[in-house]
Amino acid sequence: MVCPLAQQNGFCARIVTCAVFFAVGTGLILHVRTALLRELRQIRRVAGAAQSVLLRPLPPRIDGLNVAAAQVSADRGASIGGDLYEVIATEHGVRVVMGDVRGHGLGAIGTVAAVLGSFREAAHDEPELGCVLRRLERALARHLRERARAEHPSSGLDPDSPVAEEFVTLLLLEIRCDGAVYAVNCGHPWPYLLRGHAEPTGVRGRVERLSCAEPLPPLGPFPLPAELPVLRHGQLLPGEGLFLHTDGVEDARDAQGRFFPLRAALTDAVRVQPLSPQAVLSAVFGQVLSHTGGMPTDDMALLVLRNDRKRVPAQKSHPVAHHVT
């Protein structure tokens, strides 16, 4: 209003005035946009650092095992979702957890943090795999109680609250120095055993379920039984591998509603020699993303282990199963 050009009625003066105001407005908009983008990049860096600490990258080798893992969240902008995994070398053997938290979002990430934090401690402290599972059950129950108090401070756990219905499927594995594999399963898909060597029929590569035993119920809705059967499921020989996954992989559908053929994809992947966890992971992960058109509707996690130990130590007498009370 105080600009001399704005007080003139000439056509040229009005054009110049409009151009000046347009330039000033554009400059302000660009300045605000640049500041917002800078702040968004900083927030993403902080969020990425926090998420990488929670679901930290696994080293390529852990106590003689070659390891490769990947996961994708169904929520855009999130590096992790409701799936979890960890591999830890302990004095009791290499211990592995793979799990799937019901739901997505911040609530699921909080549950992932509670379960993984407990596993990273219990894997070293507990001599029995069943005791590790009981530690995870207590950590999950404590976490859900705290969430319930935060969401419903007046009445405690509301029966209609999503917290009351939350559960976690979990698979715990223990791979000992002689390759013996022990497992306890709470509602999670059993892993696949990958055999890369040639069969007597001349066919190279074979894929089979590690077990067909009925798993326990998921953690959360029901308490664990008084006795936990921790079963031995064969032996992982040198050169053989294990493929662990969450149900988001097998449940992935294409545009026609067809499920992803995981076993067929694994069979094709193990025919390529030598058996490489990185190559198997890349092949399956690429195929499932192609199957879903790059837009999965559920979180997915994949973990591949290969026994790279040169020899199998002399085996001690291990019971086929032991019970933890």
pLDDT value, residue 318: 45
pLDDT at 146: 87
For the packed helices 129-151 and 105-125, what is the interaxial angle rounded to 10 degrees?
A: 150
Calculate mean pLDDT across residues 198-214: 74
CA distance 302 to 210: 16
Of 35-39, 64-68, 233-237, 292-296, which gets the smallest average pLDDT?
35-39
Mean of the per-residue pLDDT values of the chain: 81
Low-confidence winner among 8-12, 62-66, 138-142, 144-148 (lowest mean pLDDT): 8-12
Phi, psi of 279 (to 5 degrees): -70, -40
The pLDDT of residue 46 is 44
Residue in this structure with the two tokens 């499921």, named with its chain if needed: 233
Distance CA 280, CA 269 (A): 5
pLDDT at 164: 58
How high is the pLDDT of residue 320? 43
Rounded Cα distance between 259 and 202, Å, is 30
Neighbours of 76 (CB within 10 A): 6
Question: Is 60 exceeded by the pLDDT of residue 313?
Answer: no
More confident residue, 16 or 324: 16
Q: How confident is the model at residue 18 (pLDDT cuts 50, 70, 90)?
A: confident
H helix or E strand, kind and range, residue 186: strand 180-186
Q: How many CB atoms lie within 10 A of CB 8?
A: 13
Query: Distance (Å, rounded) from C-alpha 230 to C-alpha 120?
Result: 19
> Tell me, what's the pLDDT at 8?
55
**Among 40-44, 96-100, 273-277, the least confident range:** 40-44
| % pLDDT > 90, the chain | 48
Percent residues over pLDDT 70 in the chain: 75
Mean pLDDT of 117-134: 95
Position 155 confidence tier, pLDDT thresholds 50, 70, 90: very low
